[in-house]
Chain A
Amino acid sequence: MFMLPPLLTASFHPKAEPCGLNRLGFLGVSNGYPPSNSGVPLFSPLLLGGARRQSQRPVPAPSAPLIQSPPSFDCLFRQCSFLFSQSHLDTVSASLLMPATPLIPRTPRTLPCPCSQPPVGGSMLSIPSAGSQGRGADISRACAHLLGRQICTSSALPQKNLAAAGPEKFTEEFIKKQIEEFKIGKRHLANMMGEDPENFTQEDIDRSIAYLFPSGLFDKRARPLMKHPDEIFPKQKAVQWGEDGRPFHFLFYTGKQAYFSLMHETFGKLLAVEKHQDRLRSKGLPTQDPKQLSLTGSRWLQKEELEELLVEAISDHDYSRFLQLMERLLALPCCSVEEEFILKFRRQLDVQSSKQVIQELQHDEKGVAFASAEGRRKSSKATAVVRDIASMKILVNGVDYLNYFPVVQDRQQLLFPLQFLGRLGRHSLECSVSGGGHSAQAGALRLAISRALLSFVSESEREEMRQAGLLTSDPRVKERKKPGQEGARRKFAWVKR
C-alpha cells in the first residue's frame, strides 16, 4: 500500500518554499517554472539539483540544469512510492533519492551523518538484499540510511552561509611559511638578476619582476607582483584566548571588548571625580577647580578615528553613547583631575587660514614691493600684479578698467578686496584676464587680487578676508543639459495627451 508520508504535507507549507528558492537564486527558478502540471514549485528539478549541489564545498558557477527534463508530479509520486514500498528497496539510485529531499524541508538534524562527501550524481546505491537478514531490520536500516542522507542533503538545513563567513582566514603557520618562501624567492631573484642578494630592496624586486614578466595589462593590481606576505594577506585578529580556552579580556563575552572596556574605564574615571568632589565638599573646600579645562580649538574624535584607536568596529549608536559619557564627565566641576584622559580623545582643530599658500613679497628694480597671484571663475583665468605704489592706476589687459568693464558691478567686484581692507588708494593693479564673460572675468580678477593682497596683510586681516569669502574660489559652473529636457532644469512643455 502506498503510504503517503505525513511529511509530504509539510512540503506544502508556504514557508518551506522560499527557503529553497532563495538559495537557488542563481538558477533562476522564477521564469517559466513551475511546469503547469505540478502546482508545486518545490518539486521542480532545478531545486532538486540545487539541493544536491549544496554541500560543504563552495557553490560552483551555474551550469546546465542537472536534471534535463522535468518529471511530472505523478512520476515523482511514483518515485516516492518506490522508496517506501517494500519490494523495491534493493537498489535505489541516488538520483531517485533526491526527490525525497523536499519531503522533509524542516527536519532538524537528529541523526549524525557524514556530510563530508557530497553525493555524486548518478551513482548507484545498493542496499543488500533482504534475503540475508530480516526484512524489518533491512528496511529500518535502509530507512535510517535514507533519512540520514535526506537530512544531510535537505535544502532547508542551515547551510554554511559562505557570504557571512567573511574574508578567508589564514593560520599563523601558513603566513610564516609564506614569509620563508618569500625570503628564499627574493634571494633567487637577486641571483637571477645578477645582483647582491643581501641588499636587494623592494624597489629592486619590483623592477626585476617588471623586467622578467612584462605585462600589458592596464590595471596595476592585475600585474604580477612579489611583495612581503604581510602586505598581501590581510591582518588577522589574534586569537583572543589562551591554551586552556580562557579568554584574555574580562569583557570578551560581550563581543565588543575594546569599546566596552573603554566605557568601563571612562565611567570609573567619572566615579573617581565624583568621589573627589565629595571629599572636597565634606572638608568644606570649594569644588570649583581653579584650573579649568580649555577645550576651545579642539574637537572630539571622529567615529573612524575612535575605531582606529580601539582596533574594533563601532556602530553609530555606540559612538554617540561614548560622546554622551564624555560630555557627562566634562559637566562635572572637578573634571580637570582627569584632564589627560579626556585630552586623549580630543583633536586640535587646524586653523583654516594657515592652509593658504601665501606668495612672498617681491621687489622690482625700483624697490617697489609687488605680489602676483592667479584666480579662476567659470571659464576665465586671471593674473593680477599688485604693486605698493600709491596711485590709482588699474590696467586690465593693457586697458584702463573703466573702458574694459563698462558695467559698474564688474568694477565693484574688482575693487572690493581693496575696499574691504581699506587700501583703496595705496595699490596699483596690473591684470591680465582671458576666457569667459565679463562677470566671470571680474570674479576671477577679484580672487586673484585678494590672493595677491595676502602677502601685504597681517594674520588677523587674513582671517577676516577668509571669513568674508574673498579667498574662496567660486565653484559654480554651468550645469550640463540633460537628455529628455530642454536645458539643465527646464523640461519640455507638458502635454496632456
Chain B
Amino acid sequence: MVTTSKVAMNYISQLCCCLIKVEEKESGMAAGHLTKVLFSVKHSGLQSRLFGTAAVAQTDQVENDSTALGNKILTQPLNHPDYFRLSELFSLKDLFEARVHLGHKRGCRHRLMEPYLFGCRLEQDIIDLDQTVEHLQQALNFTAHVAYRGGVILFISRRRQFCHLVEKMAQECGEYAHTRYWQGGLLTNAPVLYGPGVRLPDLIVFISTLNNVFQQHVAIQDAAKMNIPTVGVVDSNCNPSLITYPIPGNDDTPSSVELYCKLFKMTINRAKDKRRQMDLLQSLATPNL
C-alpha cells in the first residue's frame, strides 16, 4: 500500500508543519527551524499554505538539544508503520461478530462502493472484511497520529439512535462531537460563527456519513474545502469519494457502532498516553539549565 502511506506522509507532514508552527510560538524559535523541518520532510505543495516560508532565508541554526529532542518526539512515530500497535485492538472475527459486514439491499447500493463489497447474498450486500480491516487499520493509525500531536478531532454522526453514545465517547476521550443539525457555515464561515481566531478541527471522524434524509453529510464537502482530513465509516449506500480514509462497514447496527466508538476511544487514549509519556521522558532527559 505504497500510495496510501505516501498520502499519509503528506498529510502528516502537513499537519506536523502546522502544529510545529503552533508549538514554536510557545518556544519562540524562528522560522529557521520550520524551514529545516520542511526541507527534511520534502513536501512540494505546502508553501502556499504556510505564509512567508518561501521568502524566509535559511539562517544558520545552532543545533539545540531540546529542539532535536522535540523534533524526535514528533518524527519518531512516523518511522513505524504501526507505532501505537493498533492492529492488536481488533481482529476480523470481532468485526464479523459486531455485524460490520452487513450492508444494505442491492437497490441501495452506491456505485462507488462496489470495489469494497464481497458480494450479495439474498439481495443484501456483504462488505469485504479483509479490505475493511486494512482500511480500519489505516484510519485508526492516522487518528492516533493526529491525537498524538494534539490535534482537534471532531466526531460527526447524524443518527439519532447513536447521538448520545457518540457524544459520550467524545467527552470521555477529551475530543469534540457534533451530532446535531449542521448549520451552514460552521467550518467555512467559522470566524463569524464562533469568533475570530478559532481553531478548526484537524480531523473529522464520521461514524455515519449520511444525514437524516439519506444524503451525504454537508460536513464532508466542507471539510474537503477547508483541507481537513476525514475518516468515515461508509456503508454500501454511501459515497466514499471525498473521504480521506474511508472505512467500508455497517453504520446502522448498534453493535457495530459501539465497536467503532470503542476502537476510536481506545486509539485516542493510547495516542495521548503515549504523548504524555514521551513529554515526561523529554522533561526528565533534559533537566532545566
Measured CB to CB, the residues of A under 8 A from B are: 164, 237, 239-241, 243-247, 250-256, 260, 264, 267-268, 271
Also in contact, A255 and B199, with CB within 8 A (given A247-B176, A268-B164)? no
Residue of A nearest to B23 (CB): A244
Which residue from A164, A255, A268 sits with its C-beta under 8 Å from B194? A255
Can you list, as one digit per residue, whether each of B184-205 has a CB less than 8 Å from chain A (1) or not (0)?
A: 0010000011110111010000
Beyond A244-B199, A251-B178, 19 extra complex contacts between A and B, CB < 8 Å: A237-B195, A239-B195, A241-B198, A243-B26, A244-B150, A245-B198, A246-B199, A247-B176, A250-B167, A250-B176, A250-B177, A251-B167, A252-B194, A253-B154, A253-B177, A255-B186, A255-B193, A264-B167, A268-B168
Question: Given the complex of chains A and B, what is the CA–CA distance between A254 and B167 in angstroms?
Answer: 11
The residues of A that contact B192 with a CB separation of less than 8 Å are: 164
Can you list, as one digit per residue, whether each of B1-36 has a CB less than 8 Å from chain A (1) or not (0)?
A: 000000000000000000000100010000000000
Which residue from A244, A252, A255, A264 sits with its C-beta under 8 Å from B176? A252
Whether the Cβ atoms of A254 and B180 lie closer than 8 Å is: yes
Question: Given the complex of chains A and B, what is the CA–CA distance between A247 and B199 in angstroms?
Answer: 8
Question: Given the complex of chains A and B, what is the CA–CA distance between A426 and B186 in angstroms?
Answer: 75
The residues of B that contact A253 with a CB separation of less than 8 Å are: 154, 176-178, 186, 201
Instruction: Decide if B91 is an interface residue (CB 8 Å cutoff).
Output: no
Question: Given the complex of chains A and B, what is the CA–CA distance between A274 and B199 in angstroms?
Answer: 38
Question: Given the complex of chains A and B, what is the CA–CA distance between A241 and B197 in angstroms?
Answer: 10
Can you list, as one digit per residue, whether each of B69-93 has a CB less than 8 Å from chain A (1) or not (0)?
A: 0000000000000000000000000
In the complex, the 3 A-B pairs of residues with the closest C-beta atoms, listed nearest first: A245-B199, A250-B171, A253-B178
Instruction: Decide if B252 is an interface residue (CB 8 Å cutoff).
Output: no
Question: Given the complex of chains A and B, what is the CA–CA distance between A327 and B43 in angstroms?
Answer: 57
Residue of B nearest to A317 (CB): B181
Residue of A nearest to B185 (CB): A255
Chain B nearest Cβ from A313, distance in angstroms: 13
Also in contact, A246 and B152, with CB within 8 A (given A251-B176, A251-B178)? yes
The residues of A that contact B183 with a CB separation of less than 8 Å are: 255
The residues of B that contact A250 with a CB separation of less than 8 Å are: 167, 170-171, 174-177
Chain B nearest Cβ from A256, distance in angstroms: 8
The residues of A that contact B168 with a CB separation of less than 8 Å are: 264, 268
Q: Which of B96-141 contact A (CB under 8 A)?
A: none
Chain A nearest Cβ from B213, distance in angstroms: 18
Whether the Cβ atoms of A264 and B193 lie closer than 8 Å is: no
The residues of B that contact A267 with a CB separation of less than 8 Å are: 164
18 contacts between A and B (CB under 8 A): A239-B195, A240-B195, A243-B26, A245-B197, A245-B199, A247-B176, A250-B167, A250-B174, A251-B178, A252-B176, A253-B176, A253-B177, A253-B178, A253-B201, A255-B183, A255-B186, A260-B180, A264-B168
The residues of B that contact A252 with a CB separation of less than 8 Å are: 176, 194
Measured CB to CB, the residues of B under 8 A from A are: 22, 26, 150, 152, 154, 164, 167-168, 170-171, 174-178, 180, 183, 186, 192-195, 197-199, 201
Whether the Cβ atoms of B198 and A251 lie closer than 8 Å is: no
Total A-B pairs, Cβ < 8 A: 56
Name the prevailing secondary structure of the A interface residues: loop
The residues of A that contact B197 with a CB separation of less than 8 Å are: 245
Chain B nearest Cβ from A62, distance in angstroms: 27
Question: Given the complex of chains A and B, what is the CA–CA distance between A426 and B124 in angstroms?
Answer: 89
Whether the Cβ atoms of B150 and A264 lie closer than 8 Å is: no
Whether the Cβ atoms of A244 and B164 lie closer than 8 Å is: no
Whether the Cβ atoms of B177 and A241 lie closer than 8 Å is: no
The residues of B that contact A240 with a CB separation of less than 8 Å are: 194-195
The residues of B that contact A271 with a CB separation of less than 8 Å are: 164
Chain A nearest Cβ from B134, distance in angstroms: 30
Whether the Cβ atoms of A245 and B170 lie closer than 8 Å is: no
The residues of A that contact B22 with a CB separation of less than 8 Å are: 244-245
Question: Given the complex of chains A and B, what is the CA–CA distance between A244 and B19 in angstroms?
Answer: 10
The residues of B that contact A241 with a CB separation of less than 8 Å are: 198-199
Question: Given the complex of chains A and B, what is the CA–CA distance between A239 and B198 in angstroms?
Answer: 10
The residues of B that contact A254 with a CB separation of less than 8 Å are: 178, 180
Question: Given the complex of chains A and B, what is the CA–CA distance between A168 and B35 in angstroms?
Answer: 39
Chain B nearest Cβ from A95, distance in angstroms: 33
Question: Given the complex of chains A and B, what is the CA–CA distance between A267 and B168 in angstroms?
Answer: 11
Question: Given the complex of chains A and B, what is the CA–CA distance between A260 and B183 in angstroms?
Answer: 14
The residues of B that contact A164 with a CB separation of less than 8 Å are: 192
The residues of A that contact B180 with a CB separation of less than 8 Å are: 254, 256, 260
Question: Given the complex of chains A and B, what is the CA–CA distance between A260 and B198 in angstroms?
Answer: 20
Chain A nearest Cβ from B28, distance in angstroms: 14
Question: Given the complex of chains A and B, what is the CA–CA distance between A240 and B164 in angstroms?
Answer: 23
Question: Given the complex of chains A and B, what is the CA–CA distance between A252 and B194 in angstroms?
Answer: 9
The residues of B that contact A246 with a CB separation of less than 8 Å are: 150, 152, 199
The residues of B that contact A260 with a CB separation of less than 8 Å are: 180
The residues of A that contact B150 with a CB separation of less than 8 Å are: 244, 246
Whether the Cβ atoms of A264 and B164 lie closer than 8 Å is: yes
Whether the Cβ atoms of A251 and B177 lie closer than 8 Å is: yes
The residues of B that contact A251 with a CB separation of less than 8 Å are: 167, 176-178
Chain A nearest Cβ from B14, distance in angstroms: 17
Chain A nearest Cβ from B256, distance in angstroms: 20
The residues of B that contact A245 with a CB separation of less than 8 Å are: 22, 152, 197-199
Question: Given the complex of chains A and B, what is the CA–CA distance between A243 and B170 in angstroms?
Answer: 21
Question: Given the complex of chains A and B, what is the CA–CA distance between A256 and B171 in angstroms?
Answer: 16
Interface centre among A244, A250, A268, by most chain B C-beta atoms within 10 angstroms, is: A250
The residues of B that contact A268 with a CB separation of less than 8 Å are: 164, 168
Question: Given the complex of chains A and B, what is the CA–CA distance between A254 and B219 in angstroms?
Answer: 12
Interface centre among B168, B180, B194, by most chain A C-beta atoms within 10 angstroms, is: B180
Residue of A nearest to B175 (CB): A250
Question: Given the complex of chains A and B, what is the CA–CA distance between A267 and B167 in angstroms?
Answer: 11
Chain B nearest Cβ from A113, distance in angstroms: 15
Chain B nearest Cβ from A109, distance in angstroms: 14
The residues of A that contact B154 with a CB separation of less than 8 Å are: 253
Chain B nearest Cβ from A12, distance in angstroms: 30
Question: Given the complex of chains A and B, what is the CA–CA distance between A467 and B22 in angstroms?
Answer: 69
Question: Given the complex of chains A and B, what is the CA–CA distance between A297 and B192 in angstroms?
Answer: 44
Question: Given the complex of chains A and B, what is the CA–CA distance between A253 and B183 in angstroms?
Answer: 10
Question: Given the complex of chains A and B, what is the CA–CA distance between A364 and B190 in angstroms?
Answer: 77
Question: Given the complex of chains A and B, what is the CA–CA distance between A254 and B163 in angstroms?
Answer: 13
